[in-house]
Amino acid sequence: MSKKNIIRKRLIDTFFRLVRIKSPSGDEREIVEHVREILSGLGLEVEVDDSGKKYGSNSGNLTALLKGDDPDIMPIFMGAHLDTVTLNGEVIPYMYDGIIRNKNSKCILGGDDKVAVAAIIEVLRYIIENNIKTGDIYIIFTISEEIGVVGAKYVDLDKVGAEYGFVFDSHGDIGTIYNQAPYQNSIDAEFTGKAAHAGIEPEKGINSIKAAAIAISNIRFGRLDHETTANIGKINGGVARNIVPENTKIMLEARSLKESKLEKVTEKMIGSLKRASDDTGCKLKYKLIREYDGFNIGPEEIPLKIALNAIKEIGIDPMVESSGGGSDINVFNSKGKRAVNLSSGMEDVHTNSEYVKASQLEKLAQLILEISISKKKE
C-alpha cells in the first residue's frame, strides 16, 4: 500500500475549513461540533465531555473510537488540540507556492494544532474508504490546551482502551520525536503594602512594587542549565503616579526535566519572595501550582519504537529530542499512559507569520497512517 495515496486536496480542504473556524481557548464549541459531525459521519463512536463547565469553556473534550478489525495490530490513541491562542481577526487561508498562510497578515493562521486534527481526520477517512485493517484507534481532541493544558486534565482516560499513544503537537518538519518534556511549576504572588500620597506623606506608605522588585532582582531567570529554565511573565501593580502602590502581583514559572531540580528552583523563588516581604514590611500571598508533570519515554519503550519505524517507513531520518515545553502529552503520561509527541509541520506558531508547507501536512498524514497500521513491537 502506498502512503502517497493520501488525498492531498481533500486534506488541504479539511485544514482550510478547520482554521476558518475561530476556536480560541474557552470558545471551542463551534469547532467541537464541526469535528463531532465529521467523525460521527464516518461511523466512529464519539463523545464530548462536560469539562468546559468545570473551568469556563463553552464546550468539552472530544474523544472517539474507530473499532479495529485486526487483532494483531495493537490499540493506540492519537491526540491533538482544537483550540488556538487568541485571534484578533479573520482567518483567510490561502496557499501560494506550496505554503499555506493567513491572507489576513494581522492574525494567526491557527495551524497549532489544526494541522494534526486535519491529518488525523483524513487518515481516518482513508482507512475506512480503503478497508485498511487496523487495531482500535482512539482519538483524543482536547480543548483549552493553550491556557495550560487544561482540557487534557479532564479527559477520562479510563475510557481510552489503549496504553500507548501519539500526540502531534510540535513545530518543525515531520521527523522529530519528543520523548522527554519538563515538569512545570507556576507561582502567582501578591505583595500588599500600604497606600499613601507619594508627595505629601510617603512615609505612611509601604511600596509593594519595591517588594516585588527586590524579589525579582534576587531570582535567576532564563536558562539555568541544560535541563532547567525560569521566567517572570507578568507584573502588575499600582494605580497612579502619585500614590504609593499598595498591591503588586507577579506571575512566575520554572521548568525542568528533573523534578528534583524543579523543586530546588521553586524553593529559591519562594524564598526570595518571602525575604522581600520581610525586608519591606509588605504582606505576601502566593499560590504554587503544579501545571503538569514531566515524562521520559525510553528507547526500549513501544511508542518510541513505533514512531521511529513509522518515520523511517515514509522515507525520513528520524530525530529524538527533549522539549522545553509542555503539552497534553505531559498529562496523559502522568495518568499512566505512555506516549510521545511528534513534530507536525507547524512554523512560527502563535505569530502573525505562522505557516505550514502543504508537503509537510501531507507527510504528517502519511506518518499517521503508518503509525495506525504498525504491528506491536515485542
Rounded CA separation 214/194 (Å): 17
Show the cell assigned to 168. 502531534
**Which one is catalytic: 27, 49, 83, 246?**
83
Nearest to 273 by CA among 233, 223, 221, 217: 217
Please say if 145 is a catalytic residue. Answer: yes
Rounded CA separation 276/274 (Å): 5
In 43-134, where do the E strands start and end? 45-48, 62-66, 76-81, 93-96, 99-102
Count of Cβ atoms closer than 10 Å to residue 17 Cβ: 16
Report the residue count for the chain: 378
Peptide bond connecting 173 to the previous residue in cis, omega within 30 degrees of 0: no
Show the cell assigned to 40. 460521527
Given its phi and psi angles, is residue 226 left (phi above 0), alpha (psi -120 to 50 degrees) or beta?
A: alpha
Cα 265 off chain centre by: 23
**Which one is catalytic: 49, 112, 113, 145?**
145
- What SS3 state is found at 203? helix
Query: What sign results for the dihedral spanned by CA atoms 156, 148, 350, 223?
Result: negative
Nearest to 227 by CA among 286, 269, 181: 181
Q: What is the DSSP string of 9-54?
A: HHHHHHHHHHHHS--BTT--HHHHHHHHHHHHHTT-EEEE-STHHH
Bridge partners of residue 44, in order along the sequence: none
* Planar angle of CA 194, 198, 200, nearest 5 degrees: 110
Please say if 173 is a catalytic residue. Answer: no
Show the cell assigned to 334. 502522568
* Planar angle of CA 335, 341, 343, nearest 5 degrees: 160
- Tell me the helices (H) and strands (E) count for the chain, helix number first: 9, 17
Count of Cβ atoms closer than 10 Å to residue 110 Cβ: 27
Which residues are designated catalytic?
83, 145
